[in-house]
Amino acid sequence: MLPLRLLRDPNRSGSYLVVLFIGAGLMATYYLLTLYMQQVLGFSPVLAGVASLPVSVGIVLSAGISTKLVEHLAPRLVAVPGLVIAAAGMLWLSTLSVGSSYLWHVLPALFVTYFGLGMGFMPLTLTVVHGVEESYAGVASAILNTAQQIGAALGVSGLATIASSTTSRTLPDAGRVLSTAMASGDVASIDRATAALTSGFSSAFMAAAGTMLLAIGIMLAMVRARRTQRASTE
Express each pLDDT in 127-146 by its tens digit: 887 777 776 677 888 888 89
CB 144 within 8 A of CB 124: yes
Percent of the chain residues past pLDDT 90, beyond the cut: 52
Q: Rounded distance, CA 42 to CA 87, Å? A: 27
CB 166 within 8 A of CB 199: yes
d(CA 89, CA 128): 26
With 0.75 as the threshold, say if the pTM is over it: yes
Residue 226: pLDDT band (50, 70, 90) is low
Give pLDDT, residue 232: 43
231 compared with 95, residue with greater pLDDT:
95
Residue 6 gets which letter from DSSP? Answer: G
Rounded Cα distance, 30 and 164, in Å: 16
How far apart (Å, rounded) are the C-alpha atoms in residues 143 and 120? 17
Whether the CB-CB separation of 74 and 231 falls below 8 Å is answered with no
CB 163 within 8 A of CB 205: no
Write down all domains in the chain, each with its CATH number in brackets. 4-225 (1.20.1250.20)
pLDDT digits (tens, 9 = 90+) for 159-210: 999 999 999 999 998 889 999 988 888 899 999 999 999 999 999 999 999 9
Stretch 98-105: mean pLDDT, rounded? 91
The contacts of residue 145 (CB under 8 Å, 6+ apart) are none
Residue 230 reports pLDDT greater than 60:
no
Instruction: Give one DSSP letter per residue of 207-226, joined into a string.
Output: HHHHHHHHHHHHHHHH----
pLDDT above 70 (res 95): yes
Q: Is pLDDT of 65 > 70?
A: yes
DSSP string covering 33-96? HHHHHHHTS---HHHHHHHHTTHHHHHHHHHHHHHHHTTTS-HHHHHHHHHHHHHHHHHHHTT-
- Dihedral sign (CA 146, 121, 56, 137): negative
Residues 6 or more apart in contact with residue 99 via CB below 8 angstroms: none
Quick one: pLDDT at residue 233?
40
* pLDDT value at residue 37: 94
Report, in this order, helix, strand and coil percent for the chain, each rounded to 5: 80, 0, 20
**How many Cα atoms are found within 13 Å in the side-chain-facing hemisphere of 191?**
3
